[in-house]
Amino acid sequence: MGICIDVLIVDWDHLMSAPGDDQRYGILHDAAISVDDDEDAWQDRSPSVGPQWFWPSPPAIGWFGKFDFGNVGSSYKDHFVASEQWEEFRAFVAPEVRSAVDRFIDPLFWGGLEYMADREDGEGAAAHESVVLPPAPADHLLWCPPEAVPSLNLLWDSVDAELAALREPFERYVSFGFGRVKDFDTFAGLLRGWGDVIGEAQQRGWGVVGLRC
């Protein structure tokens, strides 16, 4: 089962107007629950639903949006599995592509940057700058302020352009598939979901949070 993750993009000024971490968590938790409880938004939901956005309905203030990864990605275990799969085949990916994927997924869900073999390798590492996020408050799995989003969006542009090139090394070198991330299409879909999250946040100048739920 693993840990459930709720991913929201948020108006950072609105969020930070709350006086402390506990209050901010309460605001975010209530926001996530409010769209969960929106019967109109969820009436067509089924276990096989794909990724989709949920937004507050009027008269609620439109300061956030919730991204649902669909049938793969609501559990943080799915993201952990994807990071383990990346570890297995990243050495067989072209350096610039490897560098972009490393630096895109690391602050979002991988947590492996300090162990990357190419961190000081000019050919791969110099192609992209790393994105370092501040520590997440308690009960948060991700805390990404708006100033980090543009760099992540640039990284996603690089990853998205080369995503198809990852299929062959994935299918050749990934020796396991457990949970719900069983094949390349699912792995790529999870990355595209994060790309969608970062892209929507970029358009609005918002930040991104992941809540333990």
Estimate the share of the chain in helix, then strand, then coil, as percent rounded to the nearest 5. Answer: 55, 15, 35
Q: Is 33 inside any structural domain?
A: no
**Distance in angstroms (rounded) separating the CA atoms of residues 208 and 185:** 25
Q: Is 5 inside any structural domain?
A: no
Range in 36-40, 113-117, 180-184 with the lowest mean pLDDT? 36-40
Q: Is 61 inside any structural domain?
A: no
What value does the mean pLDDT take over residues 73-99? 94
- Domain of 197? 76-139+151-205
Q: Is 25 inside any structural domain?
A: no
Q: Is 121 inside any structural domain?
A: yes
Q: Is 47 inside any structural domain?
A: no
pLDDT at position 124 over 90: no
| Contact by Cβ (8 Å): 48, 25 | no
What value does the mean pLDDT take over residues 42-46? 45
Q: Is 113 inside any structural domain?
A: yes
pLDDT at position 98 over 50: yes
Given this model, what pLDDT does residue 48 score?
A: 52
pTM for this one? 0.89
The mean of the pLDDT values for the chain is 87
pLDDT at position 123 over 60: no
Q: How confident is the model at residue 179 (pLDDT cuts 50, 70, 90)?
A: confident
What value does the mean pLDDT take over residues 148-165? 97
Q: How confident is the model at residue 1 (pLDDT cuts 50, 70, 90)?
A: very low
Percentage of residues in the chain having pLDDT higher than 70: 84
Given this model, what pLDDT does residue 173 score?
A: 96
Nearest alpha carbon to residue 15 among 181, 213, 208: 208
Q: Is 10 inside any structural domain?
A: no
Given this model, what pLDDT does residue 40 score?
A: 47
Give the total number of structural domains in the chain: 1
